[in-house]
Structure 1
Amino acid sequence: MHPAFRAVVSVLGGLFGGFTLGFLLSPDPTGVTPVLVGTALAVGFAVALYVKLGEEAAV
């Protein structure tokens, strides 16, 4: 898989998963907490997904 395509897929997947969990897990969905939690989770998910897609492409 091309690295640029892999990056786009991983960032979009990370944003979707991170912000979904951020809004579901935060006690106040109207405050700044879901944004901070969603951003942190999105970064972690995007990195993990990028690495995982790279491993599957190498097989």
Structure 2
Amino acid sequence: MKGIDWVVAVSLVAIGLSCLTMSASWLFNQDTLKEYLDTFLVICLFAGIPAFLGGLLYWIFKRK
């Protein structure tokens, strides 16, 4: 993939995560930025930990 492909892919993921976070944070409290950031952190952790573990397992098996 070229550089512009990565930029487009990362921006689409970021837009999707922000939309998911916005809809989830409006369920609890619409007025605070702290609620938005807390929900964003939780969503990123739930998405990032499995992606990291999958990448780590892929790297381990690819190395052998």
Counterpart of 2:37? 36
Which amino acid counterpart does residue 30 of structure 2 have in structure 1? P
Return 3-12 or 30-39, whichever deviates more: 30-39
Any conservation in 1 of the 2:25–2:35 contact (CA below 8 Å)?
Answer: yes
If asked which structure has higher relative contact order (CA below 8 Å, sep 6+), I would say 1
Distance in 2 separating the partners of 1:23 and 1:38: 10
Please report the TM-score for the alignment, with normalisation by the length of structure 1: 0.50
Q: Distance in 1 between matches of 2:14 and 2:35?
A: 18
Overall identity of the aligned pairs, in %: 9
More helix, by proportion: 2
The structure with the largest alpha-carbon Rg is 2
Question: Is the deviation greater in 31-40 or in 8-17?
Answer: 31-40
Alignment gaps of 5+ in structure 2: 52-64
Aligned partners of 1:14 and 1:41 also within 8 Å: no
SS in structure 2 of the partner of residue 18 of structure 1: helix
CA contact (8 A) 1:21 1:38 kept: yes
RMSD (Å), alpha carbons: 2.8
Counterparts of 2:17 and 2:10, CA distance in 1 = 10
Equivalenced residues, count: 45
